[in-house]
Amino acid sequence: MRHFDHIDTTHRKHLFYRHPRRFERHDDPEVLAVALGATLYSPATRPVLADDIEKAAGRGVMSMVVCLEDAIADADVAAGEANAVAQLRRLHERGAEVPLLFVRIRRPGQIGDLIDRLGAAARLVTGFVLPKFAPATGAAFLDALEETAARTGLRLLAMPVIESPEAVYAETRTEMLNDVARLLAKRRERILAVRLGATDMSAAYGLRRPPDLTIYDIRPVAGVICDVVNILGRADGSGFVVTGPVWEYFSAGERMFKPQLRRSPFEAQQAAPLRQRLITSDLDGLIREVHLDKANGLTGKTVIHPSHVAAVHALSVVTHEEYCDAADILGVAGGGAMASSYANKMNEAKPHRAWAERLMLRAQVFGVAAEGVTFVELLEAAGSR
């Protein structure tokens, strides 16, 4: 697998200074966690799930979640399980190229049961998404994952979701997150990334984010995200990749505020129609939120519509300026400050080192844009199929 492989080779050569590297599902979890990119969720009850997964792979999707939890009704769980098993078996029989596949479950017992029912098709499953993860219930999920992996010989990874009320409410949040950190540290080799359930977090306050605001404008939820990054996303070796919360809009209604995309970058690339399409689909809000995700220490994003993927991936490409800064910082031993290669900022070798190391890992997976290539060009190319 490789990001942007669905783009014509000649065009890709124009876009990238350093091309994205290939990766595969058995690579180091540190690499896979960044490679997830925009993780597309799909209800397990979709009658054409196998076709959806294959089409998504052809359009640049690198990770998908087949959801047996909140995406389907309680009465449909058994039918969803049966459909997911049948559809993944169909993909396996076809020999289809598929993204990194995960199953979001409701209870620990589903892990072993689904893997057994999948048979040879279980090798398509990279891992499981563990909902409403908390110290009291999380150990049972991780035990079931460990037991199933040991019994079958499969490498199964976990993505716990922080979204339960005790993770949200101020009086229980810190203790709960510290307990989660200790629990995850004991199973570090199984933890791919920590996901944020912003919809459930909002529900704890009876809130829903409107499409013209980002999750960071919803202050009670923004506070939770801040604490999750503080405790579970540290750059000192104890943290994990924390992924961006879901963007749940894909068609614009009446707008209260001005569009959040400046005209000039699009006009410079003669891409004004692209800007209008983004605004019409409320994707200008998604683009702003992804910028804020990155600034706040989050990597990748949960999405619910294929139209979201190109924006997340285009914004994940490392700019030529960022790459030059990171290379300069990592090329210095012993500390010190220097002017950036672009002569527009100061780089400090010690304080900026952790940032530079993380950025270089993203550069490995998503590539480095050629000098002068903008997000607009990357987005137009990524969404061209």
Tokens of 182: 């200790």
What pLDDT score does 379 carry? 87
For the stretch 95-117, pLDDT in tens is 999 999 999 999 999 999 999 99
The token pair at 164 is 């339960």
Tell me which DSSP letter residue 238 carries: T
Is 58 inside any structural domain? yes
In a domain, 190, yes or no: yes
pLDDT of residue 212: 84
345 domain residue, yes or no: no
The pLDDT of residue 269: 64
| Segments forming the whole domain that contains residue 180 | 24-317
Tokens of 116: 């057994």
**In the predicted structure, residue 266 carries a pLDDT above the cut 60:** yes
The CATH number of the domain holding residue 288 is 3.20.20.60
Would 351 be classed as within a structural domain? Answer: no
**pLDDT for res 381:** 86
Cα-based torsion angle of the residue sequence 259, 272, 274, 21 in order, rounded to the nearest 10 degrees: -110
| pLDDT confidence band for 240 (50 / 70 / 90) | very high
Answer yes or no: is 200 a known binding residue.
Answer: yes
CB 385 within 8 A of CB 59: yes
Q: Please, are residues 84 and 114 in contact by the beta-carbon 8 Å criterion?
A: yes
Strand, coil or helix: 161: strand
Q: Is 243 part of any domain?
A: yes
Instruction: Calculate mean pLDDT across residues 204-215.
Output: 92
> 149 near 155, Cβ under 8 Å?
yes
Mean pLDDT taken over the chain = 92
Report if residue 84 sits inside a domain: yes
Give tens-digit pLDDT for 128-164.
999 999 999 999 999 999 999 999 999 999 999 999 9
Q: Work out how many domains the chain is built from and give that number.
A: 1
Residue 353 lies in a domain: no
Distance separating alpha carbons of residues 159 and 35, to the nearest angstrom: 14
Residues of the chain with pLDDT > 90, as a percent, come to 79
**8 A C-beta contact, residue 37 and residue 313:** yes
Q: Is the pLDDT of residue 207 over 90?
A: yes
Residue 174 covered by a domain:
yes
Q: How many CB atoms lie within 10 A of CB 273?
A: 10
Write the single-letter amino acid at 35. Answer: A
